Amino acid sequence: MSQIKKGDKLNLLRETEVISVPFGLTISLPEGESIEIMQAKGSTVSVGYQGRLYMVEGINLDALGMKSIKREVLAKGASNQQILDFAWAQLRTCFDPEIPVNIVELGLVYGMKVIDLIDGRKMLNIQMTLTAPGCGMGEVIAADARRKILGAEDLNSVNTDIVFSPPWSREMMSEDAQLELGMF
């Protein structure tokens, strides 16, 4: 995503579905509208439009003049470990639209487990937190994670459980995340 950077202003090349932040509602912005790049990390871009923040998913990046990013897929027949590895990799592409560090490096993901259901289906449970209990981005981030992880064909559902025990603290961030945010 090096083609665009924070502060760039451009016009949408086509009508584009975006996700409103922090509400998580999908709306369409009209072709030709002027937007400002707020953050371009992972497989999404955060944009400002008429004083509000929106997230453009990878599949719609062509509207910004970039190459669209298709959802990653994990082929049928994957082991539980392969599903976990795939899920961790996908979570590293999930960003809070306002923070330039992925949710894994931020220390927001506490754990994951693949559950083999009695009927042969598989479910992934993710336990994660937010930087603050009142953070309005929780459901937007969790929905982004679910969409990306459901690219594993053997996975039938993804459950994101947002917890606040233990409470998040900056010590949970990786050293790289602390450096990126100037906290080290």
**CATH ID of 9-64, from 2.30.30, 2.60.40, 3.90.190, 1.10.260:** 2.30.30
Domains in the chain: boundaries:
9-64, 80-180
CB atoms inside a 10 Å sphere around CB 181 = 15
The residues near 119 (Cβ < 8 Å, ≥ 6 apart) are: none
Provide the 8-state DSSP code for 95.
B
In this predicted model, what pLDDT tens digit does every residue of 11-49 receive, in sequence order? 999 999 999 887 778 899 999 999 999 988 878 899 999
Q: In which band, very low, low, confident or very high, does the pLDDT at 2 lie, cut at 50, 70 and 90?
A: very low
Nearest to 158 by CA among 97, 99, 106, 94: 94
What CATH class has 80-180?
Answer: alpha beta
pLDDT tens for each residue of 162-177: 999 999 998 999 998 8
CA distances from 147 to 42, 114, 122, 123, 151 (A): 14, 16, 16, 14, 7
* Closest among 91, 46, 99 to 72, alpha carbons compared: 91
> Model confidence at 184, in pLDDT bands (50, 70, 90)?
low
